[in-house]
Structure 1
Amino acid sequence: MFKRRELMLRGAALGLLPLHARAQALAATRRVGRLVAIGGAEDRLQDRVILRRYVELCGGPRARIRVLSAASGDPRGVWLAYQQVFAELGVSDSAHLDIIDPTHANSAEVVDQILDADGIFISGGDQRRLMDLVWETEAFRALHTAFHLRGCCVGGTSAGAAVLSRHMLAQGAAPRLPEKEAAELDLGLGFVSKAIIDQHFSERGRLGRLLSVLAQRPDMLGVGIDEDTALVIERGLSVEVVGQGAVTLVDGRQLRSNFDDIDSHERLEMLNVRVHLLPAGRRYSASSGDYSFRRMPPSLRDAVSLLVAPGPIRG
């Protein structure tokens, strides 16, 4: 088991480094951190392509996987369901990361569970419920230490995907056309610092919602993930789409809109928005020496580079 105090001190020290020095330090770690953002409703009964891939990225059947189900209204029931799935996939060491209140999130037991894990899997539910429990706790800091310093694979489905963003899509209707302030942003876990993740994307018609929040934050990328579909982000290297659907990548960084000139819930004018549709089965590299990089248009290369860029460690 890794020494909790040593890892937490390393995490705090890394957070003080300049960005370029931090990136070099992270590149020298033993494993590369990976994120698996699932759009919800992943197959848990048949081929289980996404969850098999998640187990593989955690290190295979011998991986230590901890399930964080605090976003759910039935955290124990959700944990038992995933425990059975992971056992059927050959994982012998899975356990419940049972956080019931902020006091528990500050406990040495929870921190040690996180720091000893090869994979943390975050269930669906309400992303605000999860953040209310872990924000600025020792568990929150331990999650960053585990990801950035140990290369722990962090996966999340539905609300567990939304919470991976720093600027988290917290709630909001899905208007057919984008409206000013149709959705509300809040602070998430912050593993993805330059993008806002939405889930159940095509199935629930959420393009209008994602465009609405990008009008509010045009400096961000928008990532819409379909059900039974996952976006795998390999820090510093590539993104990969796994499952049955697609990932819609919306780039509003050159956006021109009337956001500042209209009232709340009025229709938005949005000009110069770039949209990329990334189907399952495709990988997009951030390395100029890779064939997939050379075949991508410059705007997509830039967007992928932002997605895989190491975010700040939260200490």
Structure 2
Amino acid sequence: MRKTYNDTFSKIGFSNFGFMHPDDESKNEEYIERIKQAKTVFFTGGDQNNICKKLNNSPINTVLRERYYNDKDFMVAGTSAGAMCMPEIIIIEAENGEAIIDNDIQLGKGLGLLNNSIVDTHFVHRGRFGRLAHAVLKNEELFGLGLGEDTALLIENGSRATCKGSGMVIVISAKEVIQTNVETADKHHPIYAENLKVHLLTDGCVINLSEGIMEKENVKRRNK
């Protein structure tokens, strides 16, 4: 994996980058100093639960959060599990069945860099609509962000999100659900929901994650 990222970053013109491995706690001081000097911290894929377990309540995550919230020129990015670990609440494990079944999803504590969303990745290719819908039905105040392949969501100031790439981002909202049995269903019983809302974002689309509203001027400009 290191060779892949070395080759990729070099190919697109980056020269000043390095690698950090949170498993090696002996290098915490070095890593903290690197984060203080960095413009961007990028999380690779793997296991989002493992990433969060290693970093939550660590001095590395403390300085990461401080820079993220206080430095407008600092960016945190991630791919696959590295993107899924960003919110306060993450999907640890879930089934991708034809129906949403009670008790088939496990949620956990993320890095806490996003407080309005839950993120899922490989969303379209791996058929993950059901599990993200289940997650937001259990957390109706949050948006579900399903990232497709070759697609990113650039989030500025914690709420203004711009879709980038050749695929799409699916935004799921349970804020206006009229009825659902997500809290009352018996174990292994399917979940239903009325008025679950879905937005489709493609390259250039912008959505406000505080309100769940797409920018109309941006949509008009794309349609010209």
1:276 equivalent in structure 2: 199
User: Taking CA–CA contacts closer than 8 Å with sequence separation of 6 or more, which of the two structures ends up with the larger relative contact order?
Assistant: 1
Cα offset for 1:225?
A: 0.7
What does the per-residue CA deviation read over 1:150-171, in whole Å, with 9 as the maximum and x for residues that have no partner? 2311110000010011101111
Q: CA offsets, 1:157-207, max 9 Å, x none? A: 000010011101111111222222322110111111111111111101111
Alignment match, 1:96? 19
Report the alpha carbon displacement of residue 110 of structure 1 after superposing the two structures with TM. Answer: 1.1
2:183 is paired with a residue whose SS is helix
CA contact (8 A) 2:204 2:218 kept: no
Identity of aligned residues (%): 27
Aligned residues: 214
Q: Does 1:123 align with 2:44?
A: yes
User: Secondary structure of 1:171's match?
Assistant: strand
Q: Unaligned 5+ residue runs, structure 1?
A: 1-77, 297-315
> What amino acid is the match of 1:81?
T
1:177-188 superposed matches below 5 A: 177-188=99-110
| 234-243 or 108-117: bigger deviation | 234-243
2:181 aligned with 1:258? yes
For the pair 1:210 / 2:132, whether they are aligned, the reply is yes
**Per-residue deviation, 1:260:** 2.5
Residue type of the partner of 2:176? Q
Determine which of 25, 33, 40 is the counterpart of 1:112.
33
2:114–2:158 Cα contact (<8 Å) kept = no
List alignment gaps of at least 5 residues for structure 2: 220-224
Q: CA deviation at 1:244?
A: 1.5
SS of equivalent residue, structure 2 residue 67? helix
Question: How far did 1:250 drift?
Answer: 0.6
Partner deviation per Cα, 1:4-52 (whole Å, 9 max, x = no partner): xxxxxxxxxxxxxxxxxxxxxxxxxxxxxxxxxxxxxxxxxxxxxxxxx
Partner of 1:80: 3
- Which residue in 2 is equivalent to 1:197? 119
CA displacement at 1:265 relative to structure 2: 2.6
Q: Shift in Å at residue 285 of structure 1?
A: 5.9
* Residue of structure 2 in register with 1:156 after alignment: 78
What is the distance in 1 between the residues matched to 2:2 and 2:49? 19
Residue of structure 2 in register with 1:18 after alignment:
none
Q: Deviations over 1:96-155 (max 9, x none)?
A: 122224x347x2111101111101110001011111211101001011122122231111
TM-score (ref. length: structure 1) = 0.63
Q: Pick from 149, 161, 165: which aligns with 1:243?
A: 165
Amino acid paired to 1:265: H
